[in-house]
Amino acid sequence: MAGRELTLEHDNHPVAEELIAGRYRLLEPLGRGAMSSVWLAQDEELERRVAVKMLAPSADRARFEREARAAAALSHPNICALYDYGEADGRPYMVLEYLPHGSLEERLKDGPLPDAEALRLATEMAAGLAHAHERDLVHRDLKPANVLFDVEDRAKIADFGIARMGGSGTLTEAGTVLGTASYISPEQASGQPAGPASDVYSFGVILFRMLTGRLPFVSANAMELVRMHRDDTPPSVAEFRGDAPARLESLAAAALAKDPADRPADGAALMRELRRGGGGGDDATVMLAPGAFPASSGATRVLRPVPPTRQRRKREFWLVPLVLVLLGGGVALALVTTSGGGGTPTTNPLPSLGLPSVPTAGSTKPAATAPSTTAPTTTAPPTTARTTTHRVTTVPVTPTAPPTVLPTTTVAPPPTTTVAAPPTTTAPPPTATDTTPTTTAATTTGP
């Protein structure tokens, strides 16, 4: 398809078509380098903005393909995503996630970052490294220019151009060491293979700069910088800033250790150190001050219910028996009140209870204890004329009542309410026990 001609200034190679692969419309250049150029483009099929990275004609094709394979092997919120890969007019291209909020290098030009932002970015970079290291991929060129930000201001690691995947051979690129001399690990400066701990060292340099606003080693000569990273002991964060957060300061010192064995082993180890610094181990809940992280940072805040204290549980445990005791006391008080001597007896018993009758005052026959399976039997004194249970008032019978046995009579509740029950009736509660004579007689007299 014919289209307007776009010129790449770094190699003067014209792009013959406005559309790449008939789908990606190039809009404007985002960056250029010796290896490639990056363009802002519109995906005409999915109607979204993307970044199209095109290989320069004289650049190393193997490195470009390696970067594409490395990016395709990763899928993480803190790693720049690869959407597509192909070739147009004999030139390889890859389509990447468009990250419009610039790079960390641009933010660090103004000096150190606020502590909360430094902590957030360190955590997001460590999470991206952990994902890559778990898949046996080492970035080998981690620096602020390769940490980009999406529309939600989330940090994403990009440019895996010199990444090492698994046991693959080393890809040599002239000028690579010089171009990243400020962040190179001691083992890379010595020509030794890079591993996950090499990315940890570069992470430490970035963290040092986020906290202090400067690099641990500074020199106008790139080769001198390489030597310093290889041989010299790095300064501490406290030498340039005494009020830096202790956990970030100690993490930067650990990551900048000369021996890889003395550093956190990989991105996952960095994550553990950051979480441990938050207090309480990997699963600890960190209490964040309001506004500590920007609303767009994507940070998850966890709220956990606070369990009741031991004292509260003990208080609730003793509440039930206390209520039962109070209820029992109320019942006893009611019994005492209704059974008090003198005055006119109360005549409103519970109609649903059948109670034994009370012996006459003149009876001389021995009393028989009512059978009971729930409480011991108590014999009332001989002078007792009436017994009240459950608000049932019995009226003493006249002394002249004949000792003959009368048939059991049930009287309607008001106004006279005493019911004579057979001896097989269930015994009353243990708080009051009635005595029952051998011969049962009851006479109910109105008030």
Confidence (pLDDT) at 2: 34
Residue reference for tokens 């109910």? 444
Range in 79-83, 282-286, 401-405 the model is least confident about: 282-286
DSSP codes, 241-275: -TTS-HHHHHHHHHHT-SSGGGS--SHHHHHHHHH
What would the mean pLDDT of 18-25 be, rounded to a whole number? 91
Confidence (pLDDT) at 89: 85
Distance CA 51, CA 43 (A): 9
Confidence (pLDDT) at 297: 38
325 CB burial (10 A radius; 0-12, 13-18, 19+): exposed
Nearest in space to 421 (alpha carbons), one of 385, 370, 383: 370
Confidence (pLDDT) at 292: 39
pTM, rounded to two decimals? 0.59
Mean pLDDT of the chain: 72
Distance CA 427, CA 170 (A): 98
Q: Catalytic one among 141, 150, 199, 266?
A: 141
Taking the domains of the chain in order of start, what are their residue ranges? 6-97, 104-167+175-297
301/11: higher pLDDT: 11
Exposure string for 31-40, b = 16+ CB within 10 A, e = fewer: eeeebbbbbb
CATH topology assigned to domain 104-167+175-297: Transferase(Phosphotransferase); domain 1 (1.10.510)
Nearest in space to 234 (alpha carbons), one of 194, 205, 196, 206: 205
Residue 140: Cβ within 10 Å count: 23
Tokens of 107: 């933010």
Distance CA 30, CA 98 (A): 10
Nearest in space to 78 (alpha carbons), one of 97, 54, 105, 58: 97
CB of 93 closer than 8 Å to CB of 38: no
Give me the percent of the chain exceeding a pLDDT of 70.
55
pLDDT single digits (tens) 88-101: 888 899 999 999 99
pLDDT single digits (tens) 204-241: 999 999 999 999 999 999 999 999 999 999 999 999 99
Distance CA 434, CA 422 (A): 13
Range in 72-81, 256-265, 311-320, 367-376 the model is least confident about: 367-376
Please report which helix (H) or strand (E) contains residue 207, including its range: helix 196-212
Tokens of 243: 């009020």
Indicate whether 385 pLDDT > 80.
no
* Per-residue confidence band for 125, with pLDDT thresholds at 50, 70 and 90: very high
Confidence (pLDDT) at 83: 96
Nearest in space to 265 (alpha carbons), one of 170, 162, 166, 195: 195
Indicate whether 146 pLDDT > 80.
yes
Please report which helix (H) or strand (E) contains residue 196, including its range: helix 196-212
Whether 141 sits among the annotated catalytic residues: the reply is: yes
Q: Alpha helices, DSSP H only, in 213-357?
A: 222-231, 246-255, 267-277, 310-338
Indicate whether 144 pLDDT > 70.
yes
Dihedral over Cα of 95, 97, 102, 103: its sign: negative
- Maximum mean pLDDT: which of 18-22, 45-49, 334-338, 407-411: 45-49
3-state secondary structure of 419: strand
- Give Cα separations from 391 to 332, 334, 413, 431, 436 (angstroms): 11, 8, 13, 13, 18
Q: Max alpha carbon distance in the chain (Å)? A: 139
pLDDT single digits (tens) 333-372: 555 555 554 444 444 444 444 444 444 444 444 444 444 4
Distance CA 387, CA 383 (A): 11
CATH topology assigned to domain 6-97: Phosphorylase Kinase; domain 1 (3.30.200)
Confidence (pLDDT) at 160: 81
What would the mean pLDDT of 292-304 be, rounded to a whole number? 38
- Can you give the C-alpha Rg of the chain in angstroms? 46
Range in 15-29, 232-246, 387-401 the model is least confident about: 387-401
Dihedral over Cα of 142, 182, 255, 215: its sign: negative
Confidence (pLDDT) at 362: 47
3-state secondary structure of 31: strand
- Maximum mean pLDDT: which of 182-191, 292-301, 326-335, 417-426: 182-191
Distance CA 277, CA 207 (A): 15
Distance CA 411, CA 417 (A): 6
265/326: higher pLDDT: 265
Confidence (pLDDT) at 159: 87
Indicate whether 444 pLDDT > 70.
no
Nearest in space to 253 (alpha carbons), one of 208, 311, 303: 208
End-to-end alpha-carbon separation of the chain, Å? 119
Confidence (pLDDT) at 248: 96
3-state secondary structure of 28: strand
Distance CA 288, CA 274 (A): 14
pLDDT single digits (tens) 52-106: 999 988 888 888 988 898 889 999 999 999 999 999 888 899 999 999 999 999 9
Indicate whether 440 pLDDT > 50.
no
36/147: higher pLDDT: 147
- Give Cα separations from 39 to 49, 52, 54 (angstroms): 10, 5, 8
What are the beta bridge partners of residue 79?
157
* Per-residue confidence band for 145, with pLDDT thresholds at 50, 70 and 90: very high
What would the mean pLDDT of 384-400 be, rounded to a whole number? 47
Confidence (pLDDT) at 247: 93
321 CB burial (10 A radius; 0-12, 13-18, 19+): exposed
